[in-house]
């Protein structure tokens, strides 16, 4: 038996497996809302990527599934959650990249995004790209986005930040051993990018006179989604203090802006639930004077418990 076929040992994901990790973009509004709330959509995970049927869904197996979506062994429940999170990210990026090319947020051009996704997935490449090169390209692109942001060109900054994220494809945070530094590099940069997208959306919404109220709500909604992605427990171990602090401050700011409009259409959003808001308020206060360059869990080991508590309170009530 070849190493590639041996299901008892860890190995890097193949290009085909990485592509299957990013295979589905949800294009149904109700399903997308459920995806953001629950992150447990089994139909997004390829059947061959689930553990053998005789293994409990919550149990970590001793062998890998036929198709791997994570480097480390994990339960089927974890695989579904991670695949759901990846699909949710694609929904958020789709909304940004199709929206910023229009004068207002109208109907999403799903086919256009699929074409962009194919390019990110490097469909013409049979071999897995070098991660260090992907990371370098993403950092260079992020810096260009920062330049556009400082000039006040928030729409351009958004486009560039999305392209920077695309440079990291087809990798994801679970494509590496969890002890590998690449997990930290990937997760930390990805968090910064979604954080930058969130503030770009906020600034764009506040400075562009062409947006009507409906369009502003669309922008606020995408900003909330970006903030949710930054602060999700699934990636918390890679967060630095500054990224978490800024994300929480921005989420609270958006929530306050929405309070100015009674019966706004974003009520019920995951990020606006009381447990989520309490989570953001705690960290916005707790991290105000903390050393901003430190990793969050290194600076405060007890912060892990806060993320576990958030998951229990919000997901279990969805």
pLDDT tens digits for range 175-224: 999 999 999 999 999 999 999 999 999 999 999 998 888 889 989 999 99
pLDDT band at 310 (very low <50, low <70, confident <90, very high): confident
Mean pLDDT for the stretch of residues 161-170: 96
| Long-range contacts, stretch 209-212, CB < 8 angstroms, 24+ apart | 210/103, 210/104, 211/104, 212/104
Q: Kindly report whether the peptide bond that precedes residue 162 is cis, defined as omega within 30 degrees of 0.
A: no
Q: How buried is residue 151: exposed, middle or buried, by Cβ count under 10 Å (0-12/13-18/19+)?
A: exposed
C-alpha 312/C-alpha 315 separation (Å) is: 6
pLDDT in tens, 246-283: 999 999 999 999 998 888 989 889 999 999 999 999 99
Asked whether residue 99 carries a pLDDT value surpassing 80, the answer given is no
pTM for the model stands at 0.93
Residue 103 has pLDDT above 70, yes or no: no
String of DSSP letters for 15-28: HHHHHHHT------
Q: Is 299 helix (H, G, I), strand (E, B) or coil?
A: helix
Place 110 in a pLDDT band, splitting at 50, 70 and 90: low
* Better pLDDT: 211 or 146: 146
C-alpha torsion sign, points 260, 263, 269, 272: positive
Distance CA 216, CA 200 (A): 13
Q: Which residue has the higher pLDDT, 37 or 51?
A: 51
Q: What is the DSSP letter of 7?
A: T
- Across the chain, mean pLDDT equals 90
Name the nearest CA neighbour of 300 among 312, 288, 318, 315: 288
Using alpha carbons, list the distances in angstroms from residue 206 to 130, 199, 217, 220, 245: 39, 11, 11, 10, 21
- The mean-pLDDT minimum among 88-102, 222-236, 280-294 falls in 88-102
Nearest to 171 by CA among 188, 186, 160: 186
Cβ count within 10 A of residue 310: 21
Query: Can you list the alpha helix ranges (DSSP code H) found in the chain?
Result: 15-21, 29-38, 76-99, 110-120, 131-150, 154-167, 181-207, 213-231, 241-259, 274-286, 296-299, 303-315
Give the pLDDT band (50/70/90) at residue 108: very low
């Amino acid at each position: 038996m070849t190493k590639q076929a041996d299901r008892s040992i860890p190995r890097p994901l193949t290009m085909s497996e990485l592509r299957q990790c990013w295979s589905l973009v949800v294009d149904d509004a109700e399903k997308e809302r459920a995806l953001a709330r629950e992150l447990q959509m089994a139909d997004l995970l390829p059947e061959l990527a689930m553990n053998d049927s005789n293994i409990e869904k919550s149990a970590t197996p001793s062998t890998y599934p036929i198709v791997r979506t994570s480097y480390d062994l994990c339960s089927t429940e974890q695989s579904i959650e991670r695949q759901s999170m990846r699909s949710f990210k694609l929904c958020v990026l789709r909304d940004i990249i199709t929206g910023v090319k229009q004068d207002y947020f109208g109907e999403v051009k799903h086919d256009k995004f699929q074409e962009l996704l194919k390019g990110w997935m490097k469909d013409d490449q049979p071999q897995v790209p070098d991660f260090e090169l992907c990371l370098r390209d993403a950092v260079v692109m992020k810096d260009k986005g920062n330049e556009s942001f400082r000039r006040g060109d928030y729409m351009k900054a958004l486009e560039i930040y999305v392209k920077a994220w695309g440079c990291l494809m087809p990798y994801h945070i679970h494509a590496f051993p969890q002890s590998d530094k690449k997990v930290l590099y990937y997760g930390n940069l990805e968090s910064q990018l979604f954080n930058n997208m969130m503030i770009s959306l906020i600034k764009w919404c506040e400075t562009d006179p062409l947006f009507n109220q409906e369009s502003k709500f669309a922008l606020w909604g995408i900003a909330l989604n970006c903030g949710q992605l930054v602060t999700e427990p699934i990636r918390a171990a890679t967060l630095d203090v500054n990224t978490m602090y800024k994300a929480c401050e921005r989420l609270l700011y958006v929530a306050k802006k929405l309070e100015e409009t009674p019966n706004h259409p974003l009520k019920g959003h995951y990020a606006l639930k009381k447990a989520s808001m309490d989570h953001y308020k705690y960290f916005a206060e707790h991290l105000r004077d903390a050393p901003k360059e430190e990793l969050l869990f290194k600076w405060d080991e007890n912060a892990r418990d806060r993320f576990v508590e958030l998951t229990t309170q919000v997901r279990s009530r969805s």
